[in-house]
Amino acid sequence: MASKKVSSSIIKLSFFFLLPLLPLFSSLSVADNNETTTTPIPPETICESTPHPSYCKNILPKQPGHVQDYGRFSVEKSFIQSHKFLNLVNVHLQRRSTLSKTTIAALEDCKFLAEQNIDYLSTSKQTVTEATLSSWKADDVQTYLSAIITNQETCLDGLTNTASDSTIKNAIGVPLSDDTKLHSVSLALFTKGWVHEKKNKTIWDFTGKHLCFKNGQLPLKMSNRSRAIYDSARGRRKLREDDEESVLISDIVVVSKDGSGNFTTINDAVGAAPNNPAADAGYFLIYITEGVYEEYVNIATNKINLMIIGDGINRTIITGNHSVDDGFTTFNSPTFAVTAPGFVAVNITFRNTAGPAKHQAVAMRSGADNSTFYSCSFEGYQDTLYTHSLRQFYRECDIYGTIDFIFGNAAVVLQKCNIYPRLPLPGQFNPITAQGRTDPNQNTGTSIHNCTVRAADDLAPSIGTVKTYLGRPWKQYSRTIFMQSFLDSLIDPAGWSEWSGDFALSTLYYGEYENSGPGSNTTGRVTWAGYHVINATDAANFTVSNFLQGNGWLPQTGVPYVRGLIAFNKKGKVIDTGN
C-alpha cells in the first residue's frame, strides 16, 4: 500500500452563490439524534460535533439552522468542490509532456478517484433532500461519503509516495487537504442528521437457511440457450433449477484460451457485457475455463452485476506482476481491479508474481460496492488484497501474503477464509492487516470472522524467528476485528504491531472475540487504549447482518453466508450455521 516505506486553497464560495440551496433551512425532522427540530442551532455549536470544528465554522452559513440544513449545504459544497478539484487535476495532466511517468500515474489515479467522488456526491445530494431515510438508504449515503474520504486519501498517498514533481505535489496537495476536511464535515453532519442510532441485535446463526451453492455448483436460472452453453462448456451434469433458489442470469459468454469459447481473453468478454443494465436483469455471466490468463483486468463502474466463474482455485488463474518498484502506484498495480457494483467472482485464483523484493504489488483491488468473492484465492506478498472502499464480502477464500497483505478502507467481512502469511524478506515481519480508516464517522473496517490463520509452507519452518501480527494501524482510526477464528502459533503474543511510535494507538479500534488456537491467548496482548477484548454485543456490530447490511444484497448472489455470530454447543462444536 502507499506509504509502506515510511511511517506512516480551498476556493471559497460565496454564501450567496449557494442561496438557491436554502429552502434547505426549514424545520425538518432529524433521525434518531438529540438535536431539536424546533430551535435553530448556531453553526459553531453543530461544528463542535465534527472532526474539524474551525474549518466547519468557516464554511457554514453564519445564521442558525438545523443539522439537516447544514448537512445539505455541506454536501452541495462538497459536490461543487469535487468538480473544481477534477478540473485542477485535468489542467496539470494537460502538461503531461513535462511530467515524469510516476507523476502522471499519480495524477491519473487522482482523476479517476475525483470522477468517482462526483458520482457518489451526485447520488448523495439527491438523497439528502429527504427529511427521513430508511436505515438502508442512510447506510448507502454514509458508505458513499466514507468512500469519498478514502478516495481523497488514496490520491494523496499516490502523490506523496509516487509523484516525483514537488511542484505538482504542492499544487494538488493543498486543495486536496482542504477538500478532505470539507468531505469530513459533510460526513459528520450527515451522520448526525440522518443516520439512525445503531440498535444492532446480537444474532446467533443456528439454522439460518441461505441461497447457496449445491454440491459445489451454483443453481443458475438462465435461458435455455445460456443453459446449453454453460453445461456444454463445463462438461458437467445439469444444475438443478429451482425458481426460489436460483441466481438469475441474463446472458453467458465463455472465455477459453484454446478458442473453443466466445472469447480467448477476459478483457474481451468484459467488453461484451452490457453497460448499466437494468437492476432486475440478472447477472451477465463470464465463465472462464481452466488456464493461466496473463492479463490485467479492470472492471469499470458501468459493468453492473457482472459475475465471473472459473474452474476452481489453481485451475483458472489470472496473473500479472505490476509493482510500485516498477513505476506503478499501489492503486494501479493490481492484476485484477473492479469498481462495478454487484460484482461476483467464484472459483478463481488472482495472482501477483512480482515477489517480495518488489514491495507493494496488488493481486486484487476491489472498490466495488456490494462485491462478493467466493472460493477464490489471492496470492502475492506485500499488499496482496486491496479492499479499497465501499461494502465487500469474502467467503471460503485463501489469502497469501507478507506485509499488510489485507489492507484498505472498505466495510468488509471475511468469513470462513484461510489466511496464510508467507516468508518475507530477511529482517521483515508480517502484519496481516493494515486497515485505512481516517475519519471517526466512516462506517468502514475489516472484520475477520470464523477464519483460519496458519503459516504458509514457506513460513512454517521460520515460526519463532519471523514475527507475525494480526495487524498494524496504517491510518489514524484503523479498525479491525478478529472473531471466532482459529489463530495458530505463528501469531506473536502481543497480537498487534505499531505503525510508528504511538501513532493511532489511542484512536484505533482493534478487537478480538472468542478466537481459538495457540495464537489466540490475549493475556500477553498490547495494552493500547484502542485495543479491546470484546463481548458478544460488541462483536455483533461486525457481522454480515449488521456491518454490511448483507441480508439486503447477499442472497441474490447465491453465495452462502452466516448472518450473525456462530453458536457453539458445550463441547465447542458449531451447532448449525445453515451450510
DSSP 3-state of 430: strand
pTM for the model stands at: 0.90
Q: From CA 420, how far away is CA 436, in angstroms rounded? A: 21
Q: From CA 24, how far away is CA 17, in angstroms rounded? A: 14
Q: From CA 107, how far away is CA 181, in angstroms rounded? A: 20
DSSP 3-state of 364: strand
pLDDT tens digits, one per residue of 90-111: 999 999 899 989 999 999 999 9
Indicate the length of the chain as a whole number. 579
All residues at 6 or more sequence positions from 333 whose CB lies less than 8 Å from its CB, including other chains: 322, 323, 324, 352, 354, 360, 361, 362, 383
CA atoms within 13 A of residue 50's CA, in its CB half-sphere:
30
Where is mean pLDDT largest: 127-136, 276-285, 434-443? Answer: 434-443
pLDDT of residue 304: 97
DSSP track, 32-52? SSS--SSS-B-HHHHHTTSS-
**All 3 cell numbers of residue 313?**
482455485
Q: Which of 179, 369, 404, 439 is catalytic?
A: 404
Mean pLDDT of 523-543: 97
Neighbours of 62 (CB within 10 A): 10
pLDDT tens digits, one per residue of 332-365: 999 999 999 999 999 999 999 999 999 999 999 9
**All 3 cell numbers of residue 25?**
433551512
SS3 per-residue string spanning 317-333: EEEECCCHHHCCCCCCC
The answer to whether 560 and 205 have CB atoms below 8 angstroms apart is: no
What is the DSSP-derived secondary structure letter of residue 260? Answer: -
Question: Rg for the chain (alpha carbons), in Å?
Answer: 24
Beta bridge partners of 254: 287
pLDDT of residue 199: 60
242 is catalytic: no
pLDDT tens digits, one per residue of 200-251: 667 666 544 444 444 446 667 767 777 777 776 666 544 445 544 678 899 9
Beta bridge partners of 283: 249
